[in-house]
Amino acid sequence: MEEVIKNFYTGLSERDAEKMVSYYHKDIVFEDPVFGKLEGEDAVKMWHWLCLNGKDLKIKFSDIRIDNDKGTAKWEARYSYGKRKRPIFNKVSAEFEFKDGKIIKHTDNFSLKNWATQAIGWKGKVIGGTEYFKKKLQFRSKKLLENFEIAENA
């Protein structure tokens, strides 16, 4: 399963969503602080959206550990965010569960407050750790994916 995680992140570093999602089980459940919980095709679309729009995305991954049908990894992302192209440096701890040789559950954990501070400045520092901000951000992120889906199918 270590190769599955390595290949998944290699796909991300190449911004190759098809490669990445080929390691996802059809019943994938993805969760992180920005998008919240995404299942199946929604998780697949999120990586397609990120790879298409993350023009300057650079990642590094490390510390892959496997224990039976579970695994963990660390990864770091650097990219520009929003219209102002604010620089983001995000340190992520990932947890995985496997089924049939593929990733069936993928959870990314990181400090939403640190991310928000980088993404939106002082306001992010003030409200970035609140449940209100998290829910609003997840709502807006899911709307982005819905619009991306519509654009892709139009």
Cα Dmax for the chain: 45
Average pLDDT rounded to a whole number, residues 70-93? 96
- Look at residues 82, 91, 6, 21 and name the one whose alpha carbon lies nearest to residue 51: 21
The mean of the pLDDT values for the chain is 95
Residue 122: its pLDDT value, please?
95
Whether 6 is covered by a domain: the verdict is yes
For residue 123, pLDDT over 90 is answered with: yes
The fraction of the chain above a pLDDT of 90, given in percent, is 92
Residue range 37-58: average pLDDT?
Answer: 95
Q: How far is Cα 77 from Cα 66, in angstroms, rounded to an integer?
A: 22
Confidence of residue 153 (pLDDT cuts 50, 70, 90): low
Is residue 129 assigned to a domain? no
144 in a structural domain: no
Q: Which domain holds residue 46?
A: 2-111
**Inter-residue contact 5 to 82 (CB < 8 Å):** no
Q: Answer yes or no: is 124 within a domain.
A: no
Is the per-residue pLDDT at 47 higher than 90?
yes
- Please indicate, yes or no, if residue 119 is contained in any of the structural domains: no
- Residues with Cβ within 8 Å of residue 111, at least 6 apart in sequence: none
What is the Cα–Cα distance from 19 to 39, expressed in whole angstroms? 18
Q: Is residue 117 part of a domain?
A: no
Residue 64 included in any domain: yes
- Report which residue type is found at 17: A
- CATH classification of the domain holding 15: 3.10.450.50
- Tally of domains in the chain: 1
What is the reported pTM?
0.92
Asked if the model's pLDDT at residue 67 lies above 90, the reply is yes
